[in-house]
Structure formats: structure tokens, C-alpha cells
Chain A
Amino acid sequence: MAKQHITTTINGEEAEYLCEAQETLLDVLRDQVGLTGTKEGCSSGDCGACSVMLDGRLVCSCLVLGVEAEGKTVETIEGMADGEELHPLQQKFLEEAALQCGFCTPGVLVAAKALLDVNDDPTETEVRYWLAGNLCRCTGYDKIIRAVMDTAADLRGASA
């Protein structure tokens, strides 16, 4: 089957790729575009390791087709830092050791940023439910939840 030519915006830059109709956005990002920061843990929408933003909406990229990105904007973990300047969530995850193996981390960070973009003062329960789709087998979530809440507090402090 002929491949489809897709034009989209990835992390603020225009990008083009050829993909088969059945190829997922996750596979396209990893294998065609060379952005392997987005991880595959299940390919069934159950682990959140593949979380990206598609037109400002948090999605599991394993459940989106590559062709669906046509004309849209995609944001991945690789676009989160501003050059050498880490996003406050990334910095806080490092300071508070909110990762062990780090495999869930890209997806968790993308999802956590999506939360803070809509809610700058989430309760612990809100953070837990928002991140319930991001499995982490290493940390027991404790340090992840704290890092997200502490980042939110810092950001509120900075904008107050």
C-alpha cells in the first residue's frame, strides 16, 4: 500500500514523514522521526509511557495513527526543555528523585505538564487521578506526586 505523506508540527518545528495507514503515531515518532524519548510500554493505551500532546490534548500516541497528525501540532518530551533550560517539572523530578529507572518518566512529565497547564493548584487526589493512566513500577508514585505538587507550588509562588 502506498505510504501517505504527512505534514505536521513537532515540538514547534514543521515536520514531514511518510507513513503507512496503520502505523501509530508512536511508531512514527520513534522510527521515522527519530524521537525515541516517547516510550512504548504496552501499545494498548494502558501504561501512558507513550504520552504526547496532540493539538494541546494529552493522548497515548500508541492509540493515535500517524496519519492523524496531519496539520496538527505534536509535543513530545524532547520539546519540554528550552535548550539547556529544563522545564520546572524536569528540574523538580531530578531534585526530588522522582524517577528510578526513568522509563515512565517522559510520559509522566508530559502528562504532569498537561495537568499544570490547566490546574495550577491541584490537590494530591487530583494529581493521583490525573496520572492514573501513567504506570510507574519503580517509585510507588510517592516522589512523583510530591514533585508535581511542589512544582505547582513553585510556579504559583513565581507568578504571585
Chain B
Amino acid sequence: MNEQAKQFKFVGTRPIRPDGVDKVTGRAMYGADLTLPGMLEGKVVRSPHAHARIKSIDTSKAEALNGVKSVVTAADMPEAESKPVAAGEAMINFRDLAENVIARHKVFYEGQTVAAVAATSNEIAERAAALIEVEYEVLPHVIDVLDAMKDDAPVLHDHIFTGGVTPKPEKPSNVANRVEFALGDIDAGFAAADIVIERKFTTEPVHQAYIEPHAVVADMGPDGKADVWCSSQGHFMVRSFCAGLLKIEMSKIKVSAAEIGGGFGGKTTVYLEPLAIMLSRKAGRPVRMVMSREEIFRASGPTSGAAMTIKIGATKDGRITAGDATLCLQAGAFPGSPVGPAAMTAFAPYDLENVRVVGFDVVSNRPKVVAYRAPGAPISEYAVESVVDELASELGLDPIEFRAKNGAKEGTQAAYGVKFGTIGMQETLEAAKATEHYKIPLGPNQGRGVATGFWFNIGGESCAGIRINEDGSVSLTEGSPDIGGSRASMAIMAAEVLGIDVAKIKPSVVDTDATGYHFVTGGSRVTFATGMAVVDASKAAIDELRARAAKIWDVDVDGVVWEDGHAKPASTNVGDFEPMSLAEIAAIANKTGGPISGHADINAKGAGPGFGTHICDVEVDPDTGFVTVLRYTAVQDVGRAIHPSYVEGQLQGGAAQGIGWALNEAYMYDEDGKLENAGFLDYRVPVASDLPMIDTILVEIPNPTHPFGVRGVGEVPIIPPLAAVNNAVAAATGVRFTALPLSPPAILAGTGAGD
């Protein structure tokens, strides 16, 4: 049965989120908020070098310090085997994950963990960490992606030979992988073009910069069972990574999801958790570990920086004939940049006959990148959307009309393989064009930029349980950490299906012992996939409620229907019975067979692709090069907004992060390969006074495979801002910039005003 055609009672409303009061009163418990009796504090010893061989580690002085209860080095950890595992949307090698958690023979970036200690106080743990003596043989390092690809670059890993090329190379290389997606014949496409524009772009690595630091409390008893409490985007991910790294059975590790203070992809892997378990195992006491902000910048995240070449051809009347892209993405110290999704999404907003995208996954002496909201897509689409905009202006066409003319629609074959079903690319363009914003006249030194964005969205494993309590209230269990209001949308969907008030439903994110495996909260999948599980579980509970009513009325279950929260006879043929409410059936459940519940364990398929179009107005100060964002509108096809406020919030938050990426944020290294700006003072994320209001328009083109039409919404909004800002700056200054961030010195250098 498809629910899409119905009128909704709760879907699309804006109730107060179930976890809200806890979060405005300080009661909500995040990763670092748990204290257990006898708990120790753990600290990490990190590499001061960008690239070095570890010659020896002497922990004796630290161990002798009063108050130190355990010390861990790689020697304490089992050797990990080489095998691919999913980390968010990317694939990584398990052995690399182990090395990233704690270095064994070499360190590959400044900040990599080499040892960990647990002591009775933070202060003692810090002193102990300083007493651990590590002898290094410093090796030459390489930071920049293009430098790392050179033949004479220092090679990080002797076992990496570029994958995806034949024949297999003879020499190891920092280029871990080559990917290619192609469609049609680009040479013929460029030959048919009246105008061809080719540009080289660079972007810098940027950090997810969630405000909550990574934090964990682990407690392993003498029976070898571990309880872990941490904030992550997937406590099942934490369980499976810890079990694999420490060679412990999964059933012996219970992970509870603390409230999570932001992740944006950055909490889809483990850093501290396996160390905390090991420290606890050795000490026989619970251990808490919390990263400092400096550690977060040096050793977790960020996403890739990139060097790219984009070439696009078009006819005079505005039809794109071919697109060609080469994308080189930094992976950090180990392979696994999001170059795959970057390549797949690069031209996906467009209906093109001739496309080629080649991508390279490149390691260098930086922290291993991890997912950041639509991993890879903001990078490649920034470059493509900047050239698309330049083409439109060279051809004298309105940038929205040019995009609409070439935009993907139902039936478009994307170069990465899929044929699009029902999508909303054209509708977001139309809605953007119709805004007041698009018509507001601009003043001197002001410019307007437009850009679109595409993200696949994903499904994956999710589970849900609906328990009908004796009083007719409902307990809803699932296992997707709630990063921005997902409990609210789960409750709304369950209420809609069950036909009872949303306030009657209490959703909980339960631990790994209490529900089945869930893929991480990532890929914009939770409201879609976990939502589907909730709908299925609610329907299963309804089937049971109907069966109970049938029993009470002594009729066949097919003779009972469920409407508005009541069991009713399907027709007068069944008999003349008063409808029974959910609460009435629940009250006598003990007489009809016992507790009533419904469960669903699914692997959701059919995530609907998401498209968005953003409009950005800027003013560029010609003297200082400072860019002010004056107005901003984000339009997106969201399928169906279950709780529109939190959907708008996703659009606004993603836009703000994208603006930060475009204007301020970047990792900066000194010549020794050390990060120079590992703090919020020097790595500047947008603050309230940097931004205008961010207007949102929710376009609803329902995803046909979801019962309510949901599409993922969390990732698309970070994609368009990079090019929207860049294109606005081009309109304001007359200069096409090809490097991010657009910092004042970069602007002045580009406009020549700084000379």
C-alpha cells in the first residue's frame, strides 16, 4: 500500500521534538558527560612528525608514575588483516584503520596516535603521556596532492601500487587508485561545440568541525565483556570496528549511543574507542577519553583537498555537448578519499551525451580523510558548476535557464550508471527562478551566483520495534543516532501509520544489544531507511492489533481493517461491532495473547536522488577583498518533509558549512608538514555575524519507493554553496576565481587591487 496519496495528519507538521526538553535544559547526555565509579581518564601520545619511522617506544617512566593504571601501544593490539570495509560511503582497508587508530612501524602524519595512557586524573594522564619516549627516524614528507603524485615524491606505503590501471605498475606510488566514468564520445562532443571552456581548480581540506569533541567511556570487565558509551554516527559501526580491531566477538561489546554533538560524516569511524577498551581491559577500570579541539583538527577528519581540471563544451544556443573532468583528491595518510562519489556526481545534475570523469585517490602526509556531508560532491560540483556558470555568461544566457536546458530529468542516463527515475532537478530550478530573491536589483560591487547540487542518497540496514504498552502509549526503538531531530520524524511516521497522536509515541535510540544492525547515520539515509523500518514495524503492529480485534469479535482477521487508530469491521457483512481503539485493544492484550508489538529489520533500497539549487548574493569590498554574503536562498527537492523545520535546518546548516568552505576554511601547513591552524581561532568556521538569514524553499517531488515519499535531505545542501559563492564573486568582481577559499588576500590578488 502506498501512503503517498493520502491526506496526512502528522506528516508535514512541526511538533516539538521528543528529545527537545533535555537538550534545552542541559540534561541530555553527550559523549563526555558520563562518569562511572572508579573511572580513569585516558590520553593519547601523538606523533610530532609528518612522516617518520618509529624506532622504539619506552613506556617505563610513564608506567612508574603514581596514578597511571595502564599504557597501550600497537604492541598490545592484534595485527589487523588487509581487507576492505565500508567507512561511511567510502571503502577503506581494515589494516589502515588499525594503523590510524595506533601507529605500528611508521607515522604518516603529525598527530597520529602512537600510544595511550590511562590514569586517575587528566593531569596525571597528561604528565604520563609526556613521559612516554618515542624514538623516531624522520623521513621526507609530502603534503600537497600534486606534489604527492610526482615521480620523485616520498612514497608513504611500499605496498601501494596504483589500482585501476593495467598493466599493474612496477613501482609503489602515492596514487592509490584511478577511477573512470564515461558516457558517449567526448571528442565528438567537443568537436560539435561552439565554445569550450577549460579551467584548473583547487580546493583545500576542510574539517567537519562538529562542536562536540570525540568522546568515549569504555568499561571492560574481567569476563572480557565491554560496555562502551560514545558519541558516534553509528554505534553498530563502533561495535564492528572495535570487535574487528581487538578480535573480540561482537556479542561481547555493547555500545550505547550518547547524544551526538554533530558529526557531518566525521564520526563515521573510530579513533579513541578501541584504545579506551584496551586501556580499560589492562587497568580493570572504566576509562574515559575526550579529544581536545587541537587533537580533533590534527588527527580526525577532515575531507579532501583537491586539484581538478574541468572542460565543458556547448553550442551557441546553449546545449552542453561534452564534459570532461580530471579529479585528484587527497586521501590523507591512507587510501580512501571520496574520489569515487566526486567523480560520480560531477556532471550528474545534467543530461549529457558525452562525459568522461577520471579520478585519482592520492595519499600524502596528512590526517586520513573521513566523510564530510556528501563526500566528494561539493568538491567536484564546485568546479563543474563554476565552468557551467562561465559558459552561461559567455553565451549570454540566464544561468538558471542554461541549467534547466541541460538539466537532468526523469529518464536521464547518468555517466555513473543509473537512469534517473522521478527527480526534482528542473523543479528546483523553476522554484529558484520564481523567487523574489532572484529579482532583487544589485548595487555596486555586488554579484549574484547560482549553482546546483546533486547527491545520490543511500538506504541500507535499519531496524525498528514498536511496542504497544498496556495503557495505549507506544515505545518505539531504533538504532540510528539522532544527529538533528530524527527521533521526531520517526515518531511522526509511526503516528501517521498507527493513527494515534504523535505525543503518545516515545522514540528511543537503543544500544547494540537491543536492536539489530544499523548502517551509520550518514548518506542522508536515516529518515528514509530507518523511517521505512518504522513504517514497516508500525504496520506489523497493526496486523497484530487487527488479529486481536478479530479474536475478540470472533471473526476472520481479513474482516478487520485499521483506520484512524481503530480496528473496525471491514464491512457490515463481518458483523456489527463498535470500533476498538488501540488503547482498548492494548488494555486487554493479556487476555488475547499477551504483549503486542511489531518489528522490522530491513535493508532499505530505492533512496531517491536529491537535487538543490542555491542563490547567493555577495558584496566584495574592493579595498580589502572581504566578501560579505548579503542574501542566500536554498531550494531543494526533499521528496516529502516529515518535520519541515528540521528539513529547513538541514538546508540552512549545509549552506552555512558550504559558505565557510568557500570563504574561510582551510588546513594550513608549515614546511615541516605540521598543521598551523589547529584551533577555532585560526581555522575559522562561520559565526553568527558572518551570515545572513538563509531562506529555504522545500520542493516536494515524492520518492516513489518510500511510503511517504521521503528523500534524504542532509547532504545536498552543502554542495551548491561553493560554486554559488564563487559565481557571485565572479559577478561582483568580473574575475573568475579557481581556488578556494576566497579569502581577502586571494580576492585582492585576483582583482589586482592588492598590487
Binding site for B on A (CB under 8 A): 20, 27, 30-31, 34-44, 46-47, 49, 76-78, 80-81, 86, 90, 93-97, 99-106, 109, 124-125, 127-129, 131-146
How far, in whole Å, are A81 and B22 apart by their CA atoms in the complex?
11
Would you call B293 and A41 a contact (CB within 8 A)? Answer: yes
Q: Which of A40, A97, A136 contacts B17 (CB 8 A)?
A: A97
How far, in whole Å, are A18 and B382 apart by their CA atoms in the complex?
54
Given contacts A100-B646, A102-B261, A142-B694, contact A135 B685 (CB under 8 A): yes
Would you call B653 and A77 a contact (CB within 8 A)? Answer: no
Would you list 13 pairs from A and B whose C-beta atoms are within 8 A, ordered by A residue? A41-B261, A44-B680, A46-B681, A78-B25, A96-B645, A101-B259, A101-B263, A101-B484, A102-B23, A104-B261, A135-B687, A139-B656, A140-B691
B16, B30, B33, B653, most chain A CB atoms within 10 A: B653
Q: Which of B21, B656, B689 contacts A86 (CB 8 A)?
A: B21
Would you call B657 and A137 a contact (CB within 8 A)? Answer: yes
Q: Which of A37, A100, A144 contacts B484 (CB 8 A)?
A: A100
Q: Which residues of B contact A20 (CB under 8 A)?
A: 123
Would you call B293 and A43 a contact (CB within 8 A)? Answer: yes
A42, A106, A134, most chain B CB atoms within 10 A: A42
Q: CB of B441 within 8 A of chain A?
A: no
How far, in whole Å, are A106 and B686 apart by their CA atoms in the complex?
19
Given contacts A136-B211, A140-B655, contact A94 B32 (CB under 8 A): no
A81, A95, A100, most chain B CB atoms within 10 A: A100
Residue of B nearest to A104 (CB): B211
Given contacts A35-B26, A41-B213, contact A101 B693 (CB under 8 A): no
How far, in whole Å, are A34 and B27 apart by their CA atoms in the complex?
11
Q: CB of B72 within 8 A of chain A?
A: no
Q: Which residues of A contact B332 (CB under 8 A)?
A: none
Would you call B24 and A40 a contact (CB within 8 A)? Answer: no
Known interface pairs A103-B210, A140-B691; 6 further A-B residue pairs with C-beta atoms within 8 A, sorted by A's residue number: A20-B123, A40-B32, A78-B27, A80-B25, A99-B20, A101-B483
Q: Which residues of B contact A90 (CB under 8 A)?
A: 24-25
Would you call B652 and A143 a contact (CB within 8 A)? Answer: yes
Q: CB of B28 within 8 A of chain A?
A: yes
How far, in whole Å, are A76 and B25 apart by their CA atoms in the complex?
10
Encode contact with A along B270-299: 1 for CB under 8 Å, 0 otherwise: 000000000000000000001011000000
Residues of B in contact, count (CB < 8 Å) = 61
Would you call B21 and A94 a contact (CB within 8 A)? Answer: yes
How far, in whole Å, are A90 and B693 apart by their CA atoms in the complex?
21
How far, in whole Å, are A131 and B608 apart by their CA atoms in the complex?
37
Would you call A99 and B694 a contact (CB within 8 A)? Answer: no
How far, in whole Å, are A132 and B698 apart by their CA atoms in the complex?
28
Would you call B649 and A143 a contact (CB within 8 A)? Answer: yes
Q: Which of A39, A100, A132, A142 contacts B687 (CB 8 A)?
A: A132
Least CB distance from B595 to A in Å reads 31
Q: Which residues of A contact B693 (CB under 8 A)?
A: 124, 142, 145-146
How far, in whole Å, are A96 and B17 apart by their CA atoms in the complex?
10
Chain B 631-656 interface residues, beta-carbon cutoff 8 Å to A: 643, 645-646, 648-650, 652-656
Would you call B28 and A102 a contact (CB within 8 A)? Answer: yes
Q: Which of B212, B652, B655, B656 contacts A41 (CB 8 A)?
A: B212
How far, in whole Å, are A143 and B694 apart by their CA atoms in the complex?
9
How far, in whole Å, are A81 and B13 apart by their CA atoms in the complex?
26
Given contacts A137-B209, A141-B656, contact A81 B14 (CB under 8 A): no
Least CB distance from A34 to B in Å reads 8
How far, in whole Å, are A105 and B485 apart by their CA atoms in the complex?
14
Binding site for A on B (CB under 8 A): 14, 16-17, 19-21, 23-30, 32-33, 35, 122-123, 208-213, 259-264, 290, 292-293, 483-485, 643, 645-646, 648-650, 652-657, 679-681, 685-691, 693-694
Would you call B261 and A128 a contact (CB within 8 A)? Answer: no
How far, in whole Å, are A81 and B14 apart by their CA atoms in the complex?
23
How far, in whole Å, are A69 and B123 apart by their CA atoms in the complex?
21
How far, in whole Å, are A142 and B25 apart by their CA atoms in the complex?
21
Would you call A101 and B261 a contact (CB within 8 A)? Answer: yes
Residue of A nearest to B650 (CB): A100
Q: Which residues of A contact B646 (CB under 8 A)?
A: 97, 100
How far, in whole Å, are A27 and B288 apart by their CA atoms in the complex?
14
Q: Which residues of B contact A105 (CB under 8 A)?
A: 23-24
Least CB distance from B437 to A in Å reads 14
Least CB distance from B483 to A in Å reads 6
How far, in whole Å, are A41 and B261 apart by their CA atoms in the complex?
10
Q: Which of B24, B122, B212, B654 contacts A99 (CB 8 A)?
A: B24
How far, in whole Å, are A81 and B27 apart by their CA atoms in the complex?
12
Given contacts A103-B262, A132-B689, contact A139 B653 (CB under 8 A): yes
Would you call B649 and A97 a contact (CB within 8 A)? Answer: yes
Least CB distance from B474 to A in Å reads 21
Q: Which residues of A contact B212 (CB under 8 A)?
A: 39, 41, 101, 103
Cβ-closest 9 pairs across A and B: A37-B26, A103-B261, A140-B656, A102-B23, A97-B645, A140-B652, A46-B680, A100-B484, A77-B26
Least CB distance from B45 to A in Å reads 19
Least CB distance from B91 to A in Å reads 27
Would you call A132 and B211 a contact (CB within 8 A)? Answer: no
Q: Which residues of B contact A81 (CB under 8 A)?
A: 25
How far, in whole Å, are A69 and B210 apart by their CA atoms in the complex?
30
Least CB distance from A117 to B in Å reads 18
Residue of B nearest to A42 (CB): B293
Would you call A137 and B262 a contact (CB within 8 A)? Answer: yes
How far, in whole Å, are A128 and B691 apart by their CA atoms in the complex?
8
A27, A77, A135, most chain B CB atoms within 10 A: A135
Given contacts A41-B213, A44-B293, A102-B259, contact A145 B688 (CB under 8 A): yes
Least CB distance from A151 to B in Å reads 12
Least CB distance from B574 to A in Å reads 44
How far, in whole Å, are A37 and B648 apart by their CA atoms in the complex?
26
Would you call B262 and A101 a contact (CB within 8 A)? Answer: yes
Q: Which residues of B contact A96 (CB under 8 A)?
A: 645
Would you call A106 and B26 a contact (CB within 8 A)? Answer: yes
How far, in whole Å, are A47 and B685 apart by their CA atoms in the complex?
10
How far, in whole Å, are A140 and B686 apart by their CA atoms in the complex?
8
Q: Which residues of B contact A27 (CB under 8 A)?
A: 122
How far, in whole Å, are A146 and B648 apart by their CA atoms in the complex?
13
How far, in whole Å, are A100 and B17 apart by their CA atoms in the complex?
10
Would you call A138 and B292 a contact (CB within 8 A)? Answer: no
How far, in whole Å, are A113 and B40 apart by their CA atoms in the complex?
36
Would you call A139 and B652 a contact (CB within 8 A)? Answer: yes
Q: Which residues of A contact B679 (CB under 8 A)?
A: 42, 44, 46
How far, in whole Å, are A146 and B691 apart by their CA atoms in the complex?
13
Given contacts A44-B680, A102-B259, contact A141 B26 (CB under 8 A): no
Residue of B nearest to A81 (CB): B25
Q: Which of A36, A135, A141 contacts B33 (CB 8 A)?
A: A36
Least CB distance from A31 to B in Å reads 7
How far, in whole Å, are A90 and B657 apart by their CA atoms in the complex?
25
Would you call B29 and A142 a contact (CB within 8 A)? Answer: no
How far, in whole Å, are A109 and B16 apart by their CA atoms in the complex?
17
How far, in whole Å, are A38 and B17 apart by their CA atoms in the complex?
21
Q: Which residues of A contact B33 (CB under 8 A)?
A: 30, 36
Q: Which of B20, B24, B689 contacts A109 (CB 8 A)?
A: B24
Least CB distance from B444 to A in Å reads 22
Least CB distance from A134 to B in Å reads 7
Least CB distance from A53 to B in Å reads 14
How far, in whole Å, are A106 and B263 apart by their CA atoms in the complex?
18
How far, in whole Å, are A36 and B685 apart by their CA atoms in the complex?
25
Residue of A nearest to B691 (CB): A141
Q: Which residues of B contact A131 (CB under 8 A)?
A: 687-689
Residue of B nearest to A145 (CB): B688
How far, in whole Å, are A79 and B204 apart by their CA atoms in the complex?
43
Q: Which residues of A contact B27 (CB under 8 A)?
A: 37, 78
